[in-house]
């Protein structure tokens, strides 16, 4: 039998709509609150940061939102992304399970993030915006938005967490190649950055700090808006092209997943692959087990509180109800930089609260072990973030073997690891540390959660 099984859709099969899970949920999502008044925010409160079209998507309850033709045109460069059956991995594991993966590593920036970067840049350009500020941790979001800015003629300023800025010169070079400006954060370009540098000139930075810097600048300038690469509802929405395509590809395969798996940082690639399947289930379709996989060193879904919290360190952002470790918590250093965020997207948090999904946490060493096993079988080196999904998929396949049942397992390969080879070098050299998050630090950060009037 042919080992290489790939389900390819033609370009006309790129989805024409994004899918909005809110339309099918049994309860409405909790409102987003203003950081000052603690009252639900209105569109005007968000207008300094985002163009109206994206604010409308953020609060939309429509099931389907049309994808503008210019966005579909850009998607054509790499979408529909392929769905693969991982036959060689199945053989290596000697499992009766059918393992499938959706490869989002085929985009120009090498991950799922351009799915939303392109949409966000498009709506900003339509609104006459000339500059977008943003933050980036490991550099994947920054390079995705830099690519989208190049496509739509928008200048991009990326505040990059200082440790990553120093450790990941190739991601920085990629952003600059696309024409973006990349600044190490904390920087002295903003009041929030200067305040932190005054206390500690060698501060390593964090995603929460970089968000504060980018938000501060966007709020001050009329021709400048802010873009976030995860967490928000409109980001989840844009990523649903992944799951919709996967559903069509499963039809080609004459199969349907029993289990859907993705890694979770802010939750967007997870929402992208899982929400269309969850929606079908909520509308009376087949039940799917959905598993969110996070790092043990930053376990917001499995160990965080479900509470209102800020998205950033300087507390400039609105408050959202989410699973959080506290906005002052700084996760320990580990290689999956895209998963080092204190909170989880509100919609992903809500479906967890509603019992519609499962969550689990893994340490990085077993994830890299899985990633290497996957690379040797399938030839693709996953991003360190994606290795969390690979680990869970392999564990589910091994469970099938133990139980002697054949289940269909789908996981999202959120990106390739070509810019993360230092992490693989460290793994091969036995130098990876499986750090625990500091429980006392999380307790402290959670004690500092904002108090919000009872709903
Ligand atoms: C950013 C990133 C993630 C984590 O972000 P989500 O919003 O949780 O998807 C996961 N994988 C890759 C490759 C990323 O770049």
pLDDT digits (tens, 9 = 90+) for 211-234: 999 999 999 999 999 999 999 999
Answer whether 267 contacts ligand 1 (Cβ < 6 A): yes
Residue 339, ligand 1, Cβ within 6 A: yes
Give the integer Cα–Cα distance in Å for 406 and 258.
10
Strand pairing partners for 40?
33
**pLDDT reported for residue 1:** 53
Residue to probe by mutation, ligand 1, list 107, 242, 415, most atoms within 8 Å of CB: 415
Query: What pTM was computed for the model?
Result: 0.97
Summarize pLDDT for 115-145 with one digit per residue, the tens.
999 999 999 999 999 999 999 988 999 999 9
Among 139, 299, 385, which is best to mutate for testing ligand 1, by the most ligand atoms less than 8 A from CB? Answer: 385
Angle at 286 between CA 411 and CA 102, to 5 degrees: 20
Q: Where are the domains of the chain?
A: 72-110+234-438
Measure the CA–CA gap between 182 and 158, rounded to whole angstroms: 5
**Mean pLDDT of all residues in 300-312:** 94
Q: How confident is the model at residue 337 (pLDDT cuts 50, 70, 90)?
A: confident
Instruction: Check if 116 has its Cβ closer than 6 Å to any atom of ligand 1.
Output: no
Taking the CA of residue 231 as reference, the ligand 1 atom at the shortest distance is 7
* pLDDT value, residue 339: 84
How confident is the model over 408-455, as pLDDT tens digits? 999 999 999 999 999 999 999 999 989 888 888 888 889 889 988 765
Helix (H, G, I), strand (E, B) or coil at 414: coil
Within 13 Å of residue 14, how many CA atoms lie on the same side as its CB?
21
Mean pLDDT of all residues belonging to the chain:
95
Per-residue pLDDT averaged across 50-54, rounded?
97
- Identify which of 112, 357, 382, 417 to mutate to test ligand 1's pocket (most ligand atoms within 8 A of the CB): 112
pLDDT above 80 for 4: no
Model confidence at 395, in pLDDT bands (50, 70, 90)? Answer: very high
**CATH number of the 72-110+234-438 domain:** 3.40.50.1100
Structure confidence at residue 229 (pLDDT): 95
DSSP string, 112-168: STHHHHHHHHHHHHHTT--EEEEEESSSHHHHHHHHHHHHHT-EEEEEEEHHHHHH-
Residue with CA closest to ligand 1 atom 4:
265
d(CA 370, CA 390): 6
Give the pLDDT score at 340.
81
pLDDT band at 258 (very low <50, low <70, confident <90, very high): very high
């Amino acid at each position: 039998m042919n080992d290489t099984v790939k389900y390819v859709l033609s370009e006309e099969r790129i989805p024409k709509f994004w899918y909005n899970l809110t339309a099918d949920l049994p309860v409405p999502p909790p409102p987003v609150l203003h950081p000052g008044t603690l009252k639900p925010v209105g569109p005007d409160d968000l207008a300094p940061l985002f163009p109206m079209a994206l604010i409308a998507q953020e609060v939309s309850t429509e099931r389907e939102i049309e994808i503008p033709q210019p966005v579909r045109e850009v998607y054509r460069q790499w979408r529909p992304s392929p769905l693969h059956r991982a036959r060689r991995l199945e053989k290596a594991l000697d499992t009766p399970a059918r393992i499938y993966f959706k490869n989002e590593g085929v985009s120009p920036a090498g991950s799922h993030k351009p799915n939303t970067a392109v949409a966000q840049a498009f709506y900003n350009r339509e609104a006459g915006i000339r500059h977008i500020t943003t933050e980036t941790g490991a550099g994947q979001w920054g390079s995705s938005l830099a690519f989208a800015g190049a496509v739509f003629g928008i200048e991009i300023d990326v505040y990059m967490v200082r440790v990553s800025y120093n450790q990941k010169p190739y991601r920085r070079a990629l952003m600059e190649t696309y024409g973006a400006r990349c600044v190490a954060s904390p920087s002295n370009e903003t009041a929030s950055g200067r305040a932190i540098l005054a206390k500690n000139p060698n501060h390593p930075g964090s995603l929460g700090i970089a968000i504060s810097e980018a938000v501060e600048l966007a709020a001050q300038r009329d021709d400048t808006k802010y873009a976030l690469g995860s967490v928000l509802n409109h980001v989840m929405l844009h990523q649903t092209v992944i799951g919709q395509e996967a559903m069509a590809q499963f039809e080609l395969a004459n199969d349907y997943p029993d289990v859907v798996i993705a890694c979770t940082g802010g939750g967007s690639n997870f929402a992208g692959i899982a929400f269309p399947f969850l929606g079908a289930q909520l509308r009376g379709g087949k039940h799917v087990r959905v598993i969110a996989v996070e790092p043990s060193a930053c376990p917001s879904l499995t160990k965080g509180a479900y509470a209102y919290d800020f998205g950033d360190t300087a507390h400039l952002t609105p408050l959202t109800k989410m699973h959080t470790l506290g906005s002052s918590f700084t996760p320990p250093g580990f290689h999956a930089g895209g998963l080092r965020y204190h909170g989880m997207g509100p919609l992903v948090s809500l479906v967890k609260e509603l019992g519609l999904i499962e969550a689990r946490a893994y340490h990085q060493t077993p994830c890299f072990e899985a990633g290497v096993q996957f690379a040797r079988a399938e030839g693709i080196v996953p991003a360190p973030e994606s290795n969390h999904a690979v680990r869970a998929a392999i564990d589910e396949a091994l469970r099938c073997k133990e139980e002697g049942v054949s289940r269909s397992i789908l996981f999202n390969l959120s990106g390739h690891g070509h810019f993360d080879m230092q992490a693989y070098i460290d793994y091969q050299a036995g130098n990876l540390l499986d750090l625990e998050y500091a429980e006392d630090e999380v307790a402290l950060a959670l004690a500092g959660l904002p108090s919000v009037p009872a709903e």
